[in-house]
Amino acid sequence: MLTIQRLFASYPQSMCEYRASKDGHYGWFLCTYHQENHLVLEEIQAEIKLEILNANVLDLSKLEIEHWMQNFFSELHWKLHGRFIKTDLQEKGISLLFAVLYDCDLYFVQFGRIFCALTKGKNLKTVGKSWKNYYIQSLDELNLLGWSERDIKFKTYKCHIPENEHFIALPGNIAKEIFDEKTDVQSIIPLIETHSSDSGAMWLVLKNTPLLHKPPKKKLTRLEITTLLLLLGTILAIIYMIFGNRMIDVALHRTAKEIETSQIKASTVILENLGKVVNAPARSIELQPVLNAELSYEITSTPAFDQQNLYLVSANHLYVYQLKTRTLLWQKALADSIISIKSMPFGTELYLSNNKMIALDEKGNVKWSQVLPANIESNPRLDFIVITPKRDRRIDRSITVVPLERGISVLDSQQGLIMSELQLKEKLLYLSDYDDYNNCFYAIVGNKLICIKLNVVN
């Protein structure tokens, strides 16, 4: 905390006063200085001190202090101006420093020939107004309090005093001897005291002295901890509902898909129960194309997919792309045309035109093959797709995706209302099932592959 190391004044040419709270964390300091030695200065300085005492400065907070200083010293300037013009002083104004302390922070104003500095290790740094060449400045430039016939202009300075460092305030005639880069900071107080016989000698030296026994940190009560947790939970819930877009639901659903792929069935019940806790209705749905890629071959079957890959069929050729990077992983040419394809947890099943069915592993190697007794009936290229809340946790009721000749519509399955429509420039040839991991469809339009994202706004 801040302690007063030195306080000295030569009354009536100078004055140093202070008041502080009982715990020493709050206080104010008043320093005045005048070049003349006149009895009328006693009355003027007594008036200044009385004005500050009546202002109850210790009741002001950090947020109020700067505004208060602006108003207080603007009014005090005019009161002193009226007082000075009735005197026979040659210099009808006064130098003044007023500082307010909040723990180790000082807010202060300066008028006239009082200057301040702060020690920093072995160095001395001026804070506030510069003391250099003050003696060649005019009275207007010195900004004496009460001198000008105009509203006074000044600045409120803020200074933090680190541990074991000093804050020093001196009149100009002593400051020019002390505030120098070559000054030995370790012996600065004895050096200042050698000027005690100078005319109007005055100084204020404060130090941030560490406490020998630091008070224990205050622990939060059980009531305070509970209140903070409730406030935090409320804020997070509000942010989630406004900006979350069902992030938890989507993450839970994706986790459930991954667990299902890994054949860990036991956690599914827990994830479903968690999903019910954060479930809330969707407000709007939008179909948004996010990928439009030209294909160098003709698509002859509905696209298939799993969590990582996309499978495209062209006659007897199978092309496998990685969804994340959209790069071709591998391709395979078969002896017969591929009628349809289905992605399974253990691999990929292909139905061929020669009544044959084969299964491929993740690298395209044949795992098994089987000849069926009759022709395989292929599924229609375009069909309705129903998406339930179980497949997409962002919605609270089922929606129906309807393929059109040149577009796609999304309907509310319960009320039949159109929730979104997407128009396409060319004829829609194929539309995949709903990818509930990546929340999209894969459409074949002409010779293009289009990934259509299902955006849900909650």
CA–CA gap between residue 443 and residue 101 (Å, rounded): 71
Lowest average pLDDT, out of 11-20, 49-58, 146-155, 277-286, goes to 277-286
* In contact, 458 and 282? CB cutoff 8 Å: yes
**What pLDDT, on the 0 to 100 scale, is given for residue 277?**
46
Express each pLDDT in 66-96 by its tens digit: 999 999 999 999 999 999 999 999 999 999 9
Contact indicator for 3, 189 with CB cutoff of 8 Å: no
How far, in Å, CA of 335 to CA of 442, rounded?
26
Please say whether the beta carbons of 179 and 128 come within 8 A.
Answer: no
**pLDDT value, residue 376:** 66
Q: 12: cis peptide before it, omega within 30°?
A: yes
- β-pair partners for 159: 106
**Residue range 413-428: mean pLDDT, rounded:** 90
Report pLDDT for 212: 61
Q: Does residue 279 or residue 145 have the better pLDDT?
A: 145
- Predicted pLDDT of residue 279: 47
In the chain the domains, ranked by start, together with CATH numbers, are 2-208 (3.60.40.10), 222-277 (no CATH), 281-295+380-458 (no CATH), 303-378 (2.40.128.630)
Side chain identity, residue 195: H
Q: Which of 10-24, 146-160, 227-241, 438-452 has the lowest mean pLDDT?
A: 227-241
What the block records as the tokens of 5 is 């190391």
Q: Give Dmax (Cα) for the chain.
A: 126
pLDDT band at 312, cuts 50/70/90? very high
To which residue do tokens 């495209």 refer? 312
Q: How far is residue 317 from each of residues 296, 346, 371, measured CA to CA in Å?
A: 13, 21, 20
pLDDT category of residue 283 using cuts at 50, 70 and 90: low
And the tokens for 230? 């409730």
**Beta pairing partners, 347:** 344
Confidence of residue 377 (pLDDT cuts 50, 70, 90): low
Relative to beta strand 157-160, strand 105-111 is antiparallel
Spatial contact of 12 and 42, defined as CB atoms under 8 Å apart? yes
Residue in 89, 120, 116 with CA at minimum distance from that of residue 172: 116
Residue 124 backbone dihedrals phi, psi, to 5 degrees: -125, 125
pLDDT tens, residue by residue, 329-362: 999 999 889 988 988 877 899 988 888 999 999 8
| Of the candidate ranges 87-96, 173-182, 272-281, the one whose mean pLDDT is the lowest | 272-281
Those residues whose C-beta lies under 8 Å from the C-beta of residue 445, and which sit 6 or more positions away, are: 424, 425, 426, 427, 428, 429
DSSP assigned state of 425: S
For 180-236, how does the pLDDT look when each residue is reduced to its tens digit (9 = 90+)?
767 788 888 999 999 999 988 999 999 998 866 556 667 788 888 999 999 998 898
Contact 158, 107 (CB under 8 A): yes
pLDDT at 414 over 90: no
Name the pLDDT band for 246 (thresholds 50, 70, 90): low
Query: CB-side exposure of 43: number of CA atoms within 13 Å?
Result: 9
Separation of alpha carbons 48 and 159, rounded Å: 24
Contact between residue 301 and residue 430 where contact means Cβ atoms under 8 Å apart: yes
Percent of the chain with pLDDT over 70: 90
Instruction: Kindly report which listed range (58-67, 93-102, 170-179, 344-353) carries the lowest average pLDDT score.
Output: 344-353
The whole-chain average pLDDT of the chain stands at: 87
Q: Which of 408, 411, 457 is nearest to 432 (CA)?
A: 408
Per-residue pLDDT, averaged over 98-119, amounts to 95
Contact by Cβ (8 Å): 301, 351: no
Report which DSSP code applies to 382: S
CB 153 within 8 A of CB 144: no
